[in-house]
Amino acid sequence: MATFAFKKRGYTMPYHVHTDAAFKATIDLPALILNGGLVNSSGVDTSLPATGFAANDILQVFSVPAGFWLHAVGVRVKTVEGAACTLDIGNVSATQTHVLGANADGYQGTCNLNALGTQIALVADDGLGRNTGAGLGLAGVVFVTDGTIDITFNSADTNAAIFDVWAIGWKCW
């Protein structure tokens, strides 16, 4: 298991109009393998092998500032992997949201990268996402410290998929 982040990203709110998602990115696995652009948890440039991410690898897809209220996340698969491949989206850290709990699939569980289409809020029963609030009756979570929204790859061979991922919500304070 390795943890990756995008090179030169920090905790900030990107400019967006009110009708856009606060965070959005296209994850192009063939391009990441070919061109790089990732760092490891120590901030050192790191290349992906030709097979892409391994099972249980984590990609810190968004660096979220304290005070952001996350309502939901979604994924749109544009190019399928070509083999069984799933991912989860959540928080690996237990200290960054108001519920003070880690949950790797708290926002999206078992998202299928081998099926074209859009998948929104496929959340586990104990999830942190929309309308679950980890049993608190809340819709979403608030980041109480700077944190990340993390993708955990559940499959080993992740070298062909291209997908969009987004997070909606807004900065509360």
3-class secondary structure for 102-157? CEEEEEEEEEECCCCEEEECCCCCCCCCCCCHHHCCCCCEEECCCEEEEEEECCCC
Give this prediction's pTM.
0.87
Q: b/e string for 79-111 if b means 16 or more Cβ within 10 A? A: ebbeeebbbbbbbbeeebbbbebbbbbbbbbeb
pLDDT per position as a tens digit, 147-156: 999 999 999 8
- Number of helical H runs and strand E runs in the chain: 1, 12
- C-alpha distances in Å from residue 83, one per residue of 26, 114, 144: 20, 6, 38
Query: What mean pLDDT is predicted for residues 134-160?
Result: 82
pLDDT per position as a tens digit, 105-123: 888 888 999 999 888 765 5
pLDDT per position as a tens digit, 58-113: 999 999 999 998 888 899 999 999 999 999 999 888 889 888 888 888 888 889 99
DSSP code string of 50-78: TTBSPTT-EEEEEEE-TTEEEEEEEEEEE
Q: Return d(Cα 153, Cα 19) in angstroms, integer.
A: 29
Q: Which amino acid is at 100?
A: L
Please say whether the beta carbons of 115 and 80 come within 8 A: yes
Give 131's contacts (C-beta < 8 A, 6+ positions apart).
139
Is the confidence at residue 158, as pLDDT, over 70? yes
Please say whether the beta carbons of 118 and 106 come within 8 A: no
pLDDT of residue 135: 41
Is the confidence at residue 8, as pLDDT, over 70? yes
